Amino acid sequence: MVKLIEGNVLLKPSHRRQLMTWLKRVQKLGEQVGNFILTIKLHRIGRVTEVTADVHDAIGDFSFRVRRPEWRDALREMAQLVAGRLHDERVGMTLA
């Protein structure tokens, strides 16, 4: 499950759809790990957008924080970081 808390950043519906396409791999890996909840918080601080991702899954909890001038860059990097971490957890599950 993915929760998006926009804070003071306004996203158009097309931007939300774009974000969901970036998160397809994350959702698939999260379902494989099990008990997956991803909470994404967006906040604009001056000229910088801060994205915080809190992940809860069957293996444990972790979080990432990314700050970038453009919201697209911050969200894309956050999606890549979460996907990489979930991939490592998934590989660790198969080895254990």
Detail the DSSP E strand segments found in the chain: 2-5, 37-45, 48-56, 61-68
- Domain tally for the chain? 1
The model's pLDDT over 11-59, given as tens digits with 9 standing for 90+, comes to 999 999 999 999 999 999 999 999 999 999 999 999 999 999 999 999 9
The CATH number linked to 75 is: 3.30.160.100
| CB-based contact 55:84 (threshold 8 Å) | no
Q: What is the pLDDT of residue 41?
A: 97
Domain that holds residue 7: 2-95
CA distance 75 to 52: 9
Q: What is the pLDDT of residue 46?
A: 95
Q: What is the pLDDT of residue 48?
A: 97
Sign of CA dihedral 86, 24, 30, 36: positive
Burial 40-52 (b: 16+ CB within 10 A, else e): bbbeeeeeebbbb
Q: Is pLDDT above 70 for 96?
A: no
